[in-house]
């Protein structure tokens, strides 16, 4: 069975069995999207309004900015895999609560096990806090982090970035995010050499 088929089965299972309360208010589950064989997985926070309606992650303004940055490093959206820590839209785009993150956690971990990426890129602090609960994104953005993740049964490389949505409204943060984003190819190279 291909990784894509395994992901389809996983999504079908969790769509039925996820106990997240956000299911009650969201239009639909927003599954991860993209290349199941990618070396890179981007993890965001939660679906927004557009994502909730269409069922695809990162398709609003933040998604367009993400695609621009991908083009800047010679990649297309089809080259990468993108998902969220929470699979349902929180009401009024509020931050996902701890219980909601926990309720969607096994779904996320299973996604990552199937894809087994070389590099996980955090888009914002919420996804980073899932794996690095004591870190601050202001201290770690743009730095390659390595950590043994027991749930994934491996040493995993991570690159925390500011969320593209935050950078849309703050010129300085936009420049920082682009600079950090441009470190992705070098980070992948470094991981390939050391593995």
pLDDT digits (tens, 9 = 90+) for 95-150: 999 999 999 999 999 999 999 999 999 999 999 999 999 999 999 999 999 999 99
- Given the structure tokens 């695609």, which residue do they identify? 67
Strand 154-161 and strand 119-123: the pairing is parallel
State the residue range of the domain holding 121.
3-194
Q: Which residues of 61-93 are buried (b: 16+ CB within 10 A; e: fewer)?
A: ebbebbbebbeeeebebeebbbbbbbbbbbeee
The answer, yes or no, to whether residue 93 has pLDDT greater than 90, is no
pLDDT, residue 170, reads 84
Distance CA 95, CA 149 (A): 25
The answer, yes or no, to whether residue 154 has pLDDT greater than 80, is yes
pLDDT, residue 195, reads 62
List, edge to edge, every strand of the sheet that includes 119-123. 33-34, 81-84, 40-44, 119-123, 154-161, 145-149
Structure tokens at 45: 């926070």
- What's the whole-number mean pLDDT along residues 45-72? 94
Half-sphere exposure at residue 180, Cβ-oriented, CA atoms within 13 angstroms: 27
Rounded to 5°, the CA angle 62-179-82 comes to: 40
CATH number of domain containing 167: 3.40.470.10
Q: CA 130 from chain center: how many Å?
A: 11
Question: Beta-carbon neighbour count of residue 45 at 10 Å?
Answer: 24
Q: How confident is the model at residue 89 (pLDDT cuts 50, 70, 90)?
A: very high
The H-or-E segment that residue 42 falls in is strand 40-44
Give the Å distances, CA to CA, from 132 to 95, 99, 104, 159.
Answer: 18, 17, 17, 11
Domains contained in the chain, number = 1
The answer, yes or no, to whether residue 53 has pLDDT greater than 70, is yes
Q: How confident is the model at residue 7 (pLDDT cuts 50, 70, 90)?
A: very high
Distance CA 83, CA 36 (A): 11
């Amino acid at each position: 069975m291909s990784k894509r088929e395994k992901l389809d089965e996983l999504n079908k299972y969790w769509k039925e069995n996820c106990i997240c309360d956000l299911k009650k208010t969201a239009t639909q589950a927003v599954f991860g999207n993209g290349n199941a064989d990618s070396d890179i997985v981007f993890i965001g926070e939660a679906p927004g309004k557009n994502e909730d309606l269409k069922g695809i992650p990162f398709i609003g303004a933040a998604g367009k900015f993400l695609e621009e940055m991908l083009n800047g490093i010679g990649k297309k959206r089809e080259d990468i895999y993108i998902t969220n820590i929470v699979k349902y839209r929180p009401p009024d785009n509020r931050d996902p609560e701890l219980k909601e993150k926990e309720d969607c956690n096994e779904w996320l971990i299973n996604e990552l096990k199937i894809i087994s990426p070389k590099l996980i890129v955090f888009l914002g602090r919420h996804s980073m806090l899932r794996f690095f609960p004591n870190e601050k994104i202001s201290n770690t953005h743009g730095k390659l982090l390595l950590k043994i993740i027991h749930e994934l049964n491996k040493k995993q490389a991570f690159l925390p970035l500011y969320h593209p949505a935050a950078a849309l409204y703050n010129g300085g943060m936009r420049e920082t995010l682009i600079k950090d984003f441009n470190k992705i190819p070098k980070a992948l190279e470094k991981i390939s050499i050391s593995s």
